[in-house]
Structures are given as structure tokens and as C-alpha cells.
Amino acid sequence: MQDVRHGWRILFALGVIPSVLQLLLMHWLPESPRVMILRGQEDLARETYKRIYSKATPEIIELKLRVAKMYVEATTQMQRGMTFWGRCKRLWVHKPYRRAIITVSGLQMFGQLTGFNTLLYYSGTLFGLFGFSNGAAAGLIPAGINALFVVSVSYTRPRIVTNLQLIGMSIVDRVGRRRLALIGLPIMVVGMIWAIISVYFMTAPTDHLLVAGASYDRALAGSLIGAIAFFVVGYGISYSHLGWYQSEFLALEIRAMGSAIATTAVWISNLTVSVAFLTQLETLTPAGTYGLYLGFILSGYVFVYFCYPETSKQLLP
């Protein structure tokens, strides 16, 4: 759309389609079973669980219902026994709560501080500066690679696609959350070091700055693309999905507030990195900017190694 008249308006207008579709589908969306339990509508909550888990046995449905009732009871007790500020204070005073929130928030923040999203947000600009005639099209490279390592197609019959699964979600229970992070982050480190070396020598003729209109060595630009691709592979099997398993770490009574804190942390980090990126390219140089991201990746590895426990039930002793 970059060369289409009013292309940006068309892109915004396209966003209406999923919004309207979601609004229409909301008509068939059942109320949360936990809300039904809170209202004393236990039978309706049971029926909703049967709709969600259509192949589950009655015993499993009853188990899920009991867990939901425990959640509602714990949350209600905490809300009635404390003021809002008292509950907020307890999140940080009570050690198990504090550790869980720091773990999920830290993982989300380090995932943004790697700089991955700057590749998506500014890919068109960056690849245009690298010398590609169509920077927007070349910018699809990191997004496409990430999608490749996010989406896999599984078959139950020949030539018939029956289910789409996330790669990370399909292997995470077998490999483990912690192990995937400890595998993916070193790949990101190698990719970022490779990118630093490539961009340093590529921008040497322009005082190590990216200059619009400058002609850069194609081989070095290709090397940089390869480095970015390698980096995205590591991100795709680790940070891209691991951070969103945050509810596993949070006790039932603080799950809502803890998830809100972690999600706020991820978007504040995203905003900070995105706003600062172009300025960093001019002040720190591209090599220096990637060096800063490398430092965050290494810090994230240390954080994961010491603070991120395994939660996969299949791997726990």
C-alpha cells in the first residue's frame, strides 16, 4: 500500500473487518464460568464447561468446576478482607506473590528489550536504508520467519489440514518452558553478534551511520539479513510465546492483578524501545544499538537461568 493513493487510510479501514467480525461472534460467546459461579449459577457454569471441553469426561468437567469455585472463593475472600490498596501492597509484601510477579514481568520486559519489535515496526525504513529497492517488501523477512517458527500445520489425514498449532505451544510441554528459553536465547546472542559485525563493516564508509541514499555493500547487507533471520529463529522459539504463559506462575487469587501488571510491563517496555530506536541509530550507531540489545539479551539469559523455574507438568519431578 505504500505507493497507493490514500494507502494508509485503506490499511486503517481494513482493521474494521476483524472488529466487526468479532462483534458479531460475541453473540455466541458464553459468559465466563467463574462469573456464573459468582452469581450462584453453578449449573450454567457446568454447561459452559461442557461446551468448551466437548470431549471431556464428566469427571474432568467436575474437576474444572471445583477449581473455578476455589478461584472464586479465594478471590472473593481476598477482596472482602482487604481494601484495594491493601491487596496491592500484599502483592509485593508476600514473598510468593512478589516472586511470581517479578518472574512474569521480567520475562515480558526482557522479551521487548531484545529489540525484536523494532525490526517489525521499522523494518521498511531499515531495509530501505540497507539499499533494497522495496524496503517494505524486504521488511517482511523478519515477520515471515517469525511466522514460520510460530505456525505449523498438523495433519490427521493426507492432504487435509485439520488443525493449526503454534510451534512453541506444540513442543513447549515436551521440551519445557525453561529449556526452550535456555535454547532460544543463545541463538539470539549469536544472531545479534553476527548482526553487529555485519552492520559495523557495512556502515564503515558512512562513519558507521545509516545514511539515506548511500550505497552499501550488497554482500554485507545480505549478511546482516542472515543475522537478523537467525536472531528471529531464537526469538520465535522463546520470548515470542513463553511470556504469555504468565498465568501459570500466579496464584488464583492474584492471577488477574498479576497478569495486568505483567502485561503493563511488556507494553511499557515496548513503547520505550520503539520510541528510542531511531534516536539510538543516530547517537549510538546501528552497531552500538545492536550492542545494547545484546546486553539486554545476555541479562535476560541470566534472569531466566536464576529466576525462571520450570512449570511444565510433564517435566516436573
Per-residue pLDDT band at 164 (split at 50, 70, 90) = very low
Tens digit of each residue's pLDDT (9 = 90 or more) over 181-224: 999 999 999 999 999 999 999 999 989 888 877 888 888 888 98
- Separation CA 99–CA 101 (nearest Å): 6
- Separation CA 197–CA 306 (nearest Å): 29
Asked whether residue 154 carries a pLDDT value surpassing 90, the answer given is no
Asked whether residue 153 carries a pLDDT value surpassing 90, the answer given is no
Strand partners, 161: 155
Q: Span 54-80, mean pLDDT?
A: 87
| CATH entry 1.20.120.10 includes domain 97-307 | no
Asked whether residue 234 carries a pLDDT value surpassing 60, the answer given is yes
Mean pLDDT over all residues of the chain? 84
pLDDT for the residue numbered 138: 67
pLDDT for the residue numbered 99: 94
pLDDT for the residue numbered 167: 52
Give start-end residues of each CATH 1.20.1250.20 domain in the chain.
97-307
Identify the residue with better confidence: 128 or 306: 306
Asked whether residue 241 carries a pLDDT value surpassing 90, the answer given is no
Asked whether residue 144 carries a pLDDT value surpassing 90, the answer given is no
pLDDT for the residue numbered 245: 86
Please compute, for residue 271, the number of CA atoms within 13 A of its CA located in the half-sphere on the CB side: 6
pLDDT for the residue numbered 151: 53
pLDDT for the residue numbered 149: 67
First to last CA, the chain: 53
The whole model's pTM is what? 0.80
Identify the residue with better confidence: 172 or 60: 60
Tens digit of each residue's pLDDT (9 = 90 or more) over 245-273: 888 888 877 888 899 999 999 999 999 99
Asked whether residue 158 carries a pLDDT value surpassing 70, the answer given is no
Q: Which three cell numbers stand for residue 76?
A: 472473593
Q: Span 60-64, mean pLDDT?
A: 94
Share of the chain above pLDDT 70, in %: 88
Asked whether residue 163 carries a pLDDT value surpassing 60, the answer given is no
- How buried is residue 292: exposed, middle or buried, by Cβ count under 10 Å (0-12/13-18/19+)? middle
